[in-house]
Amino acid sequence: MCIYFDKVANTYKFKDFSSGLCGSQVDLVKYIYGITFSEAAFKIINDYKEYLLHHKEYNSSEFKEYSNYKVDNHSVREWNTLDRDFWVRYNIGSSLLKEYNVKPLSEYTMSKTEDGTKQSITISGNYIYGYFKSDDTLYKIYQPKSKKKFIKVKSYIQGSDQLQGHPNLLITSSLKDIMSIKSLRVKVDCIAPDSENSFIAKSEILKLMEKYNISVMFDNDDAGIKAMQKY
């Protein structure tokens, strides 16, 4: 879950990636307590009145906007036996990795600029993979051994460069799932959004429905089931 500042609305909002819930501070209270929007608004007012009986009034302060680190450089290396041992566990071999433009990385750099000064950090090691579009543009970094497994570089519907025109389309949760399914030689086209909670736009789905019979297959947990139901 994250709390972020919406520049258009000029207010803070929240987004819960497990449930898909999002909205304003009033919405958050509504969902936490299982009450209506108006009841949540009155609860906030009454709770704040109670707070002021025992505390000083809250003093608002100016918040400083900070830049986010973004990937701005990467280095591709040769495949090794560690890579082979990792990917074959999912029945994914070198031909599929090449077809879906997956490349091993020796390192990547993330940078941001604060107060006119550029700050950079470089991450290196084994089990770092770059996901590339057909034009060799990096759109995601996959680090299966790291706490932060995915770093999004650009928006992209995974698998969209490899569609072959089969009558059936499967929407699944990751590029790794796509390649595992394709390794079974099932005659089906496959795509994946950035994650189970990052939905492909309705306009795009409607276009796909003109060409395909569409099925959705995500993980069999609460988040995956809810995402499948939403599709």
Total-model pTM: 0.76
CB 179 within 8 Å of CB 222: no
Report the pLDDT value the prediction gives residue 197, as an integer from 0 to 100. Answer: 65
**Quick check: 196 pLDDT over 90?**
no
**Quick check: 224 pLDDT over 90?**
no
Average pLDDT over residues 82-89: 96
Report the pLDDT value the prediction gives residue 160, as an integer from 0 to 100. Answer: 94
Looking at per-residue confidence, does 220 or 58 come out higher? 220
Token pair listed for 46? 């009454």
pLDDT above 90 coverage of the chain, percent: 67
Token pair listed for 188? 């089906």
**Reported confidence tier of residue 41, pLDDT bands at 50, 70, 90:** very high
Mean confidence (pLDDT) of the chain: 91
pLDDT by residue (tens digit) across 90-147? 999 999 999 999 999 999 999 998 878 889 999 999 999 999 999 999 999 999 999 8
Q: How far is CA 45 from CA 1, 49, 194, in A?
A: 24, 6, 38
Report the pLDDT value the prediction gives residue 63, as an integer from 0 to 100. Answer: 67
pLDDT above 70 coverage of the chain, percent: 95
Report the pLDDT value the prediction gives residue 148, as an integer from 0 to 100. Answer: 87
